[in-house]
A and B are shown apart, each in its own frame.
Chain A
Amino acid sequence: MKPEKDRSDDLPQPLIEALESSDRPVSMITARVDREVSAMARRHFSLRRRPARAQRLAWTAVAAAVVVAVFAVQLQSPDPEQTSLYTDVDGSGRIDIADVLALARMQGTEERSQAELDAFASWIVSLARAGETS
């Protein structure tokens, strides 16, 4: 301690005073203080959570509305057989896998996605559909 005191004589007086004033014993955090800080933190974060919960509810309501709208649109949509996709594309007089091939080979604006082609092919082999048409 002594040598440090000696060296500190070279430092400017305001700096020495500032260092000495900061060298105070650390205040003890009692269990009570700890509990109060914890309670304050809990209150703070519970207040912050409220708007998030409300926002989540709002998003849930929006998602539910979208799902209901999709179902409503699907219910009102015409029979798949009447849509332009499931038709006698190659003009053979019947709808079969050759129509899917013809559709798949179409270029440009009429180009179809693999999912659409899979749906068309699955519709062709559906036993329920075949039972209706036969």
Chain B
Amino acid sequence: MRNVILSLIVLCCACAWQTSAAQHDDRKRFAAVDIYLDSGEPVAAWQFEFSSRNGRMKIVGLENGESKAFGGTPYYDREAVQRGTADRIIVADFTLAGANELPSGRIRIATLHLMLTGADAPQFDLELVTAVTHEGRTIDASISLESQIVRKR
């Protein structure tokens, strides 16, 4: 009888631990994703699209990059982000600064702030829609990201 009670207690503890682990998986995490544009020529306008491959992500904020020529916050769908419904985002910006003030090389053009759910590692899709020079000529540039989980809640 004592063994049966002991087994029941162990079983209950295992169930409780599993439930707790499952709840932990649904907890929200926050991540900051830096978006980098790599261009051999000075860039006057750029546009990219970002989304999650496994879907457990909401974009909750956006910061501008490091270039002085693109001083303000880039264009994005603010309403969707504020509603908390943005599971993808299109970000773009342009500048009328002189050709000698435009950035080139590897530049951080934006930082996205994300809310992630689920235990799976997030998988992102990032596509450079366009990058053009001061004269409007398309640049053969590449885009990349660096993400870091900020904290768990």
Contacts and interface: CB of A to CB of B under 8 A. Distances in A.
Interface of A: 90, 92, 96-98, 100-102, 104-105, 118, 121-122, 124-128, 130
Nearest to B94: A101
A98 B135 CA distance: 10
Determine the main DSSP class of B at the interface with A. strand
Contact of A124 (B46, B86, B88, B90): B90
Interface residues of B, number: 23
A125 B132 contact: no
A100 B80 contact: no
Interface of B: 44-47, 49, 75-77, 80, 86, 88-94, 96, 129-130, 132, 136, 138
Contacts of A97: 45-47, 75, 92-94, 129-130
A102 B132 CA distance: 10
Contacts of B89: 125, 127
B136 A100 contact: no
A128 B90 CA distance: 11
A101 B80 contact: no
The 5 closest A-B pairs by CB, nearest first: A97-B92, A121-B75, A101-B45, A97-B47, A101-B94
Contact of A130 (B75, B90, B130, B138): B90
A127 B75 contact: no
A124 B94 contact: no
